[in-house]
Chains A and B, each alone.
Chain A
Amino acid sequence: QSVLTQPPSASGTPGQRVTISCSGSSSNIGSNTVNWYQQLPGTAPNVLIYSNNQRPSGVPDRFSGSKSGTSASLAITGLQSEDEADYFCAAWDDSLDGVVFGGGTKLTVL
């Protein structure tokens, strides 16, 4: 069971806005920054958001991240078929003295 909690699945139609939540605790999300990753089938994770809400160059601005208290969210606007993938959140955990991941959310574009 993952330390960070994500819904196992999410879905939307092309053009819609979807959000994926990531719930943690005071020792991880509550006191450290959150990264979000997209993992297409058969490929390595790719960072979408770092430091809660920063986008690396090359990541479309359709992707955005936010954090409040011990939870974080990833929002995808203007959903496209190529967004169908698994999405993971991660943060440093001060109590475990290491990185913790969410269990992943499988996004389906209907």
Chain B
Amino acid sequence: QITLKESGPTLVKPTQTLTLTCIFSGFSLSSRGVGVGWSRQPPGKPLEWLAVIYWNDDKRYSPSLKSRLTIAKDTSGNQVVLTMTNMDAADTARYYCAHTGLWSPPENWGQGALVTVSS
């Protein structure tokens, strides 16, 4: 059974850097074709894709947010970390990580982590 869970701060101040961790089980990020991605959903709005990292360390980012995002695999093997710099109120959203296949939309999702940006 594939499970994912996001963790991180619930409140960040404007201009701060957000660091979110996705801890997963039920699959290996060392297996060919496997990836873990991040998406977000502001309250009452549609989903927005952010980034993905694959088993071979290949990474892709949303073009509109690329300069602010970094995605990385943790050496433990079952964690993926997303950092987003220069946070703004417009970044207030629920952030989700998900298991994904190569060049594919997300499949299994975590429960999400609500992040509020406010001073």
Interface residues in chain A, defined as those with a beta carbon under 8 Å from any beta carbon in chain B: 2, 32-35, 43-47, 50, 88, 90-92, 96-104
For window 41-89 of B, CB contacts with A under 8 Å fall at: 46-49, 51-52, 60-63
| Chain A residues whose C-beta falls within 8 Å of the C-beta of B108 in the assembled complex | 47
B106 in contact with A99 (CB, 8 Å): yes
Which of A33, A45, A46 has its CB near the most chain B CB atoms (within 10 A)? A45
The answer for the CA separation of A45 and B63 in the assembled complex, in Å, is 23
The stretch that binds A, out of B11-19, B20-28, B109-117, is B109-117
Main secondary structure of the interface of B (DSSP, over half): strand
Q: Contacts A35-B106, A99-B52 hold; do A104 and B111 have CB atoms under 8 A apart?
A: no
Among residues of B, the one whose C-beta sits closest to the C-beta of A1 is B46
Q: How far is the CB of B24 from chain A (nearest CB, A)?
A: 14
| Chain B residues whose C-beta falls within 8 Å of the C-beta of A33 in the assembled complex | 104-105
Interface flag for B92 (CB, 8 Å): no
A98 in contact with B46 (CB, 8 Å): no
A44 in contact with B111 (CB, 8 Å): yes
Residue of B37, B49, B112 touching A100 (CB-CB under 8 A)? B49
Interface residues in chain B, defined as those with a beta carbon under 8 Å from any beta carbon in chain A: 37, 39, 46-49, 51-52, 60-63, 96, 103-112
A101 in contact with B109 (CB, 8 Å): no
Q: How far is the CB of A55 from chain B (nearest CB, A)?
A: 12
B109 in contact with A45 (CB, 8 Å): yes
A98 in contact with B62 (CB, 8 Å): yes
- Complex A-B: 29 CB contacts under 8 Å: A2-B46, A32-B103, A32-B104, A33-B104, A33-B105, A35-B105, A35-B106, A35-B107, A43-B111, A44-B96, A44-B111, A47-B107, A47-B109, A88-B47, A90-B47, A90-B105, A92-B103, A97-B60, A97-B63, A98-B49, A98-B51, A98-B61, A98-B62, A99-B52, A100-B49, A101-B47, A101-B48, A104-B46, A104-B47
Residue of A44, A47, A91 touching B112 (CB-CB under 8 A)? A44
The answer for the CA separation of A102 and B41 in the assembled complex, in Å, is 12
Q: How far is the CB of A43 from chain B (nearest CB, A)?
A: 8
The answer for the CA separation of A96 and B50 in the assembled complex, in Å, is 12
| Chain B residues whose C-beta falls within 8 Å of the C-beta of A98 in the assembled complex | 49, 51-52, 60-63
